[in-house]
Copies of this chain bind each other. A is one copy, B any other.
Amino acid sequence: MVKAHRVTIQDVAILSGLSICTVSRALRNLPNVSEKAQAKVADAAAKLGYKPSSAAARLAGGSTRSIAIIAPTATAWFFAQAVEAAEEVFGDSGFDTVLISLHGKSSVKRKIFGDLPGLSQRVDGVLLLNVDLSESEVALLAASGLAVASVGMTSVPWDNVGIDDELAAWRATSHLLGLGHWDLAVLSGRETQENSVLTASDRLKGFSRALKDHHLTVHPDLVINSDSTIDGGRKAMNELIAHRSLPTAVFAHCDEAAFGALMALREHGLSAPKNVSVIGIDDHPMSWFLGLSTLAQPVADQGAFAANLLVDRLQNADAPHEPSNHFLDTKLIERKTTRRQR
């Protein structure tokens, strides 16, 4: 059996009758290559089925053609969606996706930020999903030479896409208010939770603003901290039920917490919207199933959008660039857990 000789840039050079250097430039669409040469190279490369070696390219100072996605976890619905969408964009653009889950452990984050040069040696760019970064970490990343983009982060010196969390919360709350409810509780995100601090506090802000707009004030007893999980929502709702008379409506900071709330109600022989109206944010696929009213956010779109931004950035690395922040739209989906308060 003949040893399968890898097709190298050299083979392409010989077949096309040009030098390795010219081939290299032609392949990367660099300037100063005549159209004739370009065509010959493209031809030869196609004929040989040439694929550049990313390792060699990287070693010589080129790109790795891979991008890291860093997420607090890969299992949560939101992240799984965003990761998949981003991965598709990267794949279509010829980038490999390196998945890095923080697994809720700060140790992983420390390891990454403790060796940013190591990371930048393996990938060209980083897509951050809702990662809570300290100021110094932001600075380190920005200075690392890596292209960066993110989803759901704010005040970062790179491209970001997300939803307007405050607005979303405001809308969800206003929906409740518009239905005639004035005794509202909120299942607010925990700051320590995997979702970024900002998301949680922005949503709480939106809730408060909506109340204020209706000349209502936020009663501290009706602000319950809740993890962004079913069980978190359940505990929070149980707490609410145990400690005082039920409000007429509850705004959960995310659908999964809302599910938990629904469950807690059921365990107490109560239900939505009969006893309490419940609304969440996300439009988790289960929400449809459960008839949960919610503010839908386009999750896959956020991942894909941010991924595209990052790819653009990588492909036009020399072009000047101002970090931009994009808000995608949220949409009220009225289902069966909210109704008019008589």
Interface residues of chain A, those whose CB is within 8 Å of chain B, are 4, 6, 51, 53-56, 58-59, 64, 66, 69, 73-75, 80-81, 83-84, 87-88, 91, 96-101, 103, 108, 115, 117-118, 121-122, 230, 259, 263, 285-286, 289
Cβ B118 vs Cβ A51 within 8 A:
yes
Kindly identify which residue among B59, B103, B289 contacts A88, using a CB–CB cutoff of 8 Å: B103
Least Cβ–Cβ distance between A278 and chain B, in angstroms: 14
Q: Which 10 A-B pairs have the closest CB atoms?
A: A55-B58, A80-B80, A99-B99, A74-B84, A55-B59, A75-B80, A75-B84, A55-B55, A97-B99, A51-B118
Cβ A51 vs Cβ B88 within 8 A:
no
In the assembled complex, which residues on chain B have CB atoms less than 8 Å from the CB atom of A103? 84, 88
Asked if A83 meets B87 with Cβ closer than 8 Å, knowing A55-B58, A97-B100, the reply is no
Cβ B91 vs Cβ A83 within 8 A:
no
Asked if A97 meets B96 with Cβ closer than 8 Å, knowing A53-B59, A74-B84, A108-B91, the reply is no
Least Cβ–Cβ distance between A57 and chain B, in angstroms: 8
Asked if A87 meets B108 with Cβ closer than 8 Å, knowing A59-B56, A230-B289, the reply is no
Least Cβ–Cβ distance between A277 and chain B, in angstroms: 20
Bound CA–CA A121/B103 (angstroms)? 28
Bound CA–CA A73/B74 (angstroms)? 13
Least Cβ–Cβ distance between A308 and chain B, in angstroms: 16
Bound CA–CA A140/B221 (angstroms)? 63
Closest residue to A58 on the B side, CB-wise? B55
Bound CA–CA A55/B57 (angstroms)? 8
Cβ A51 vs Cβ B115 within 8 A:
yes
11 new A-B contacts, CB < 8 A, other than A54-B121, A80-B80, are A4-B117, A54-B55, A55-B58, A56-B59, A74-B83, A75-B81, A87-B99, A88-B101, A97-B100, A230-B285, A259-B286
Cβ B117 vs Cβ A99 within 8 A:
no
Closest residue to A229 on the B side, CB-wise? B285
Bound CA–CA A286/B48 (angstroms)? 52
Least Cβ–Cβ distance between A127 and chain B, in angstroms: 12
Closest residue to A99 on the B side, CB-wise? B99
In the assembled complex, which residues on chain B have CB atoms less than 8 Å from the CB atom of A59? 53, 55-56, 59
In the assembled complex, which residues on chain B have CB atoms less than 8 Å from the CB atom of A100? 87, 91, 96-97
In the assembled complex, which residues on chain B have CB atoms less than 8 Å from the CB atom of A286? 230, 259, 286
26 contacts between A and B (CB under 8 A): A4-B117, A6-B117, A51-B115, A51-B117, A54-B55, A54-B121, A55-B55, A55-B58, A59-B59, A66-B98, A66-B122, A69-B99, A74-B80, A74-B87, A87-B99, A87-B100, A88-B101, A88-B103, A91-B100, A96-B98, A96-B100, A96-B122, A97-B98, A97-B99, A98-B99, A263-B289
